[in-house]
Amino acid sequence: LTSGRIALYSIVLPAGLSISNISFMSGTTAGVTLTNQWFALVDNALKVLAVTADDTSTAWAATTKKTLAIAGAPFITPYTGLYYVGILVKATTMPTIEGVSGGSGTGVRALLPASGGYSTSSLTGPSSVGTTLAAIAAQANFKYAELS
């Protein structure tokens, strides 16, 4: 993660799915001096659909799942297809986020929509996200996220 920059990771969801929470799992590095930490659900056109509350300075230890409630939950997915789950953390030491690394982004993967990577930067609280995010700078890694 990069402090203050939202990272997005693809997920395919069915229409009509009720979502109240978004979770991410930290890896071996805890967040230190946290200022903002919130999650979002974004559609395939990068429009922001749902945002959690900001967990601000609440501790996020290493190897710990953080679950945040969607504001105004539940959110009901309007279509079957590609969505993105977003994570924003602003801190002096960023927590590592559990996931897997992929290939180099060449070949067939280069022809597909970006499955994960960084988007809009210089964000703070959930109200700073706006309604549409910037294009995704694709990366070859995928983070574990959970919707419930």
Q: Is the pLDDT of residue 122 over 50?
A: yes
Confidence at 134, pLDDT banded by 50, 70, 90: confident
Q: Is the pLDDT of residue 136 over 80?
A: no
> Which residue did the predictor score with more confidence, 109 or 45?
45
> What gap in Å lies between CA 132 and CA 47, rounded to an integer?
4
Q: Is the pLDDT of residue 115 over 60?
A: no
**What is residue 127's predicted lDDT score, i.e. its pLDDT?**
80
pLDDT digits (tens, 9 = 90+) for 22-61: 999 988 999 999 999 999 999 999 999 999 999 999 999 9
pTM: 0.75
**What is residue 107's predicted lDDT score, i.e. its pLDDT?**
41
Side-chain-side CA neighbours of 44 within 13 Å: the count stands at 11
Q: Residues 6 or more apart from 107 whose CB is under 8 A from it?
A: none
Q: Is the pLDDT of residue 104 over 50?
A: no
> Which residue did the predictor score with more confidence, 124 or 31?
31
pLDDT digits (tens, 9 = 90+) for 64-84: 999 999 999 899 999 999 999
Q: Is the pLDDT of residue 109 over 50?
A: no
Quote the tokens at residue 22: 């978004």
**What is residue 14's predicted lDDT score, i.e. its pLDDT?**
95
* Residue 64 Cα distances to 58, 127, 136, angstroms: 13, 26, 27
